[in-house]
Structure formats: structure tokens, C-alpha cells
Amino acid sequence: MPNKKTLAIYAAGGCGGCGQSLLLSPNLVLLLDRVDLLFWASSTSDLTDEEISAYDDRGIDLLIYAGTVRGNENIATARLLRAKAKRVVAYGACAHLGGLCGLANVYSGAQLRALPSADGEFVQPLSSVIDVDYILPGCPPPQAMVTRMMEELFIADVMPEQGTVFASNKAVCAQCDRKHVPNPLSSVRRFHTAPPDPEICLIDQGYICLGPVTRGGCDAVCLKSNRPCTGCAGPVAGVRDQGGAILHALASLVSFPGTDTEKKEHQVLDSIPDVIGTTYKYSAASSILKRRVNDGK
């Protein structure tokens, strides 16, 4: 096939789940037939910055970047890759939002440096260090979204608009078929100690579910397993701060009749355990909070 697009895949810090989601795509064989794969590299094991430098500027038609950006070394490599690529995809929750390891940002630099294997550097989303053209959300990205990305980037005649997110603009709730039974939030429940009714909206039952503030397109797969959405696809279109948005939504649901209501409402919100881990599980590094800046003393 003449004029094949050139593709490069770069995996920075990550768990390997993004690579597996690409490998599992039924379109992978078709993809590899349509592109020249220049490299599929991990951060340090088989590609150096010197080797990346050897590629022409803008010589890579499309770069898929998966994994976390953490520290100057990752930042330098990301910038180098950006210079070589015409278009860049932030693939998966780590590149998109900072991911789970962004929760390490709740520690100060001094606290991190005190750990045996950490170096005191903070996690950032890819878009905070380079311009990103496309986003594929998810941890790891679900096949429906991977398929859409491959079709739009490699099969369609026209490249998608810059800024395209290969997911739904609607919230996860749009694909959740649980019944809505509006109910004031009077206490916070945890699903492993009190199994939820699989037919009714989890928030209506008192569980913390990030579905209303999380970008959909995943077929609400976690809810179908009777577990709450944990927000891996990041904030729904128009929402800046995922954790802040769900806390705002929950606060609006807390309601008590009679007197002393403010105190009771505070008690409910204060009872949310591990607030950062629950509401910013994947997005702490890209939130308005970003990171701890002192030792909290």
C-alpha cells in the first residue's frame, strides 16, 4: 500500500495494561498492515533519546504515548517525541490524567525522597508538558474505545479533529441501565460490607459512584459488575475537576429535615473514607489540587 502512515508507540511508566489493550484489539492486524510501525518502545529498555533524535522532525505521522510523565527525564523524552511527531495521542489514564500513580502526589517531595525507591518527582498528565492532539481515556482503555480510535485514525479518509477524545461526551450514567430512585444521601455505604441492589442507581443507594462526572463510552462495565464507577475515563466534557464535581454533586444530595441539619450534613460528607483515593483515583495529578507542596507541618 503506497504512502502508509508512520506510527510509533511509546510506553513510559505504566503497568503494561495499555499495551495489552492494544494487543487485544481485533483491529491490530489490520492496523499493522496499514501503517509502518517505526517503534513500539518502553521508556528505557529499548529506545534512547539519542535514537529518538535520529528521526526527522515531524517524521512520525502519529505517536501513541502511554504511561505516566514523572520527572525531568520523562519530560525531556516527551518533548523530544513531540518534536518528531505530527500528531500525538495520550493513550490511557496515566497519559491522559496522571493515573493511579498520581495519588503519590499527595506526598510532599521530602516524603517521597524518604522512600527507598522514589526520587521526589511528581506525576503530571502528558498535556501539561506537551501539546496533545487526541485522547484515548480508560484504565486500561476498553476495546470499544480502542476500536474507535483505530478506525478514526487509520481507516477513515480524514483525520479526526484535533482535541478529539475517543469516548462519549456523555457521562457513564448514559450507558448504565440501573433505575433511578431519587433519595437524599443520609449516609455513605461501602459496597463490600453492604452489597448493593444491582437494579438501582448506586448513588441513590448511598454508594460513591463517579458515573455522573465521568466520561462514558465504556458500556458502564464496572456498574454491570455491581461495582461503582471509579472514574478511569476522567471528567466528562465540560467538567474541569472530576473529584470536585462529584463532591459537589454528593453535597447537593445530602439533606436532613428538621433542625441541626448543617451539622448532620457535614457528618455525612466527613464520613467519606479516603476522599482523595475515592474521588480523584486517576485524576489527582490533573486536578486543580495537582500535588502537595509542603510537608503538611
Q: What's the chain's length in residues?
A: 297
- Selected range binding other proteins among 101-109, 177-185, 247-255, 261-269, rule: CB under 8 A: 101-109
Among 7, 94, 149, 172, binds other proteins (CB under 8 A): 94
Q: Is 16 in the site for other proteins (CB under 8 A)?
A: yes
Among 27, 74, 108, 287, binds other proteins (CB under 8 A): 74
Among 193, 252, 259, 294, binds other proteins (CB under 8 A): 193
Q: Around Cβ 158, how many Cβ atoms within 10 Å?
A: 6
Q: Is 51 in the site for other proteins (CB under 8 A)?
A: no
Among 31, 70, 254, 268, binds other proteins (CB under 8 A): 70
Distance, CA of 254 to CA of 44 (rounded, Å): 49
- C-beta closer to other proteins: residue 71 or 160: 71
Q: Is 23 in the site for other proteins (CB under 8 A)?
A: yes
Angstrom distances, CA of residue 121 to CA of 92, 97, 115, 171, 296:
21, 16, 12, 33, 17
CA-closest candidate to residue 9, choices 33, 34, 43: 43
Q: Is 234 in the site for other proteins (CB under 8 A)?
A: no
Distance, CA of 182 to CA of 200 (rounded, Å): 10
Tell me if the bond preceding 140 is cis, omega within 30° of 0.
Answer: yes
Among 52, 62, 81, 100, binds other proteins (CB under 8 A): 100
Contact residues: other proteins, CB under 8 A: 12-17, 19-21, 23-24, 26, 29, 41-46, 67-68, 70-71, 73-74, 94, 99-101, 103-104, 107, 111, 115-118, 139-140, 142-143, 190-193, 195, 198, 221-222, 224-227, 230, 273-274, 277-278, 281
